[in-house]
Amino acid sequence: MGVAIVTGASRGIGLGIAAALVARGDKVCVTGRNADSLADAVAELGGSEHAIAVAGKAHDPEHCAETVAATLAAFGRVDYLVNNVGTNPVFGPVLDADADVVRKVMDINVVTAFSWIQQVWREWMADNGGAVVNVASVAGLRPAPGLGIYAVSKAALIHLTAQLGLELAPAVRVNAVAPAVVKTKFASALYVGREDEAAAGYPAGRLGEPRDVAGAVAFLLSDEASWITGQTIVIDGGSTLVGNLA
């Protein structure tokens, strides 16, 4: 049994990851902005015996510190961290974006992940070991038209994963997953009303489901993956084989 913090886990991929971890016997702390949604998530995960929730903004350092402290108080350890929180408020050419929006995207998608890793490292993992998974995107693998700023941030997250995989070894393994389009509210603009058209570009014949990502993350947070660190696992239904990044 391990203990995990999963950020952005009131729904979608984050909740799917939390459910996969609970199903194998782990305890989880889920975070998100909406306390009511988090309460529903905890109930779905089986109640307080299996999960707790801490509401707040992921990029708020006080929320990060509070979450780690609450997890340690409830479960006595923090073995795993999943950085799932992300944002993508802009679509279009990079140079059309406002610089303040660019800063926001980089802050939430990169700096926030760094801050959570730093916090769990200092409070538990430096002395006790652990594993981290960052949720990146196939958009971070090469230029992605229309998703440029988001893609840049996810490329940075992929590089941060490799850098920390090197620096935190052997105590802590740091890996990432890079999904293509997964059917969640976050990605709805990319497929709602045109799912068949969107899925036609995927050799697997369908878009992703949260469970597709959750299974890979659970593997990377398991002993079976103990010789894997600094890597990014692509989960894309084969879309990148045909040059599809959305």
Of the pLDDT bands very low, low, confident and very high (cuts 50, 70, 90), residue 218 is very high
Query: Could you say which DSSP state residue 224 is in?
Result: G
pTM above 0.85, yes or no: yes
Q: Which domains does the chain have, with CATH numbers?
A: 3-235 (3.40.50.720)
Lowest mean pLDDT among 31-40, 177-186, 189-198: 189-198
Describe the strand order of the beta sheet including 80-83 as a list of residue ranges.
51-55, 27-32, 3-6, 80-83, 130-135, 172-179, 232-235
Residue 220 CA from chain centroid, whole number: 12
94: Cβ–Cβ under 8 A, 6 or more apart, which residues? 148, 149, 152
Residue 192: is its pLDDT beyond 80? no
Catalytic site positions: 150
